[in-house]
Amino acid sequence: MAEGMKNVVLIGFMGTGKTSVGRLLAGRLGCAFHDLDKKIEEQHGMSIPAMFAEHGEPYFRAREKEAVRAAAERTNLVIATGGGTVKDPENVALLRQNGVIVALTADVDTILRRTAARGARPVLDHADAGDRRAAVVRLLEERRALYEDADITVDTSGRSPLEVAEYIVQATRIWRK
């Protein structure tokens, strides 16, 4: 990405590939990869699950907004957002000012498979197997309109992160200028 080009902002539900696709995409575009959740964890010295457990979701969402504001001021980034970042319209507006919003989607079975590990997904970790499916379906429905507001949407089900990254390189070509 040349000097001053727009950011590519990856939004989407947990398990849709924002981090794995984001890393590859940043490499293909020649820019930095910026994982909002990792930046929040580094800055505050604790994991997001620990933040949820010790301080609650409102505390985490406030830290997330700070991280969004800082990232949105920069250029030449591929930004991977947390799954719930789009719940705050101000976050989306900030990210859109200097970026093209790309929603990554996946079907429920793909999401369940990709998020099977416990401990990293505070929103799902308390549910048993049947409840996890119900929780994913419910949350996807709650956020559907938020994800549909993206500039570009890519279904990652059955596609490798590299395939998705290559598609985004082509799809965002006109936006990044």
What pLDDT band is residue 5 in, cutting at 50, 70 and 90? confident
Q: Write out pLDDT tens, residues 31-87.
A: 999 999 999 999 999 999 899 999 999 999 999 999 999 999 999 999 999 888 998
Q: Write out pLDDT tens, residues 125-165.
A: 555 556 888 889 999 999 899 999 999 999 999 999 999 99
Q: Which positions ≥6 away from 90 have C-beta within 8 Å?
A: 65
Query: For 9, phi and psi rounded to 5 degrees?
Result: -110, 115
110 is in an annotated binding site: no
pTM given for the model: 0.89
37 is in an annotated binding site: yes
17 is in an annotated binding site: yes
Top CATH class, 7-170:
alpha beta
Name residue 24's amino acid: L
18 is in an annotated binding site: yes
Token representation of residue 171? 């799809």
96 is in an annotated binding site: no
176 is in an annotated binding site: no
61 is in an annotated binding site: yes
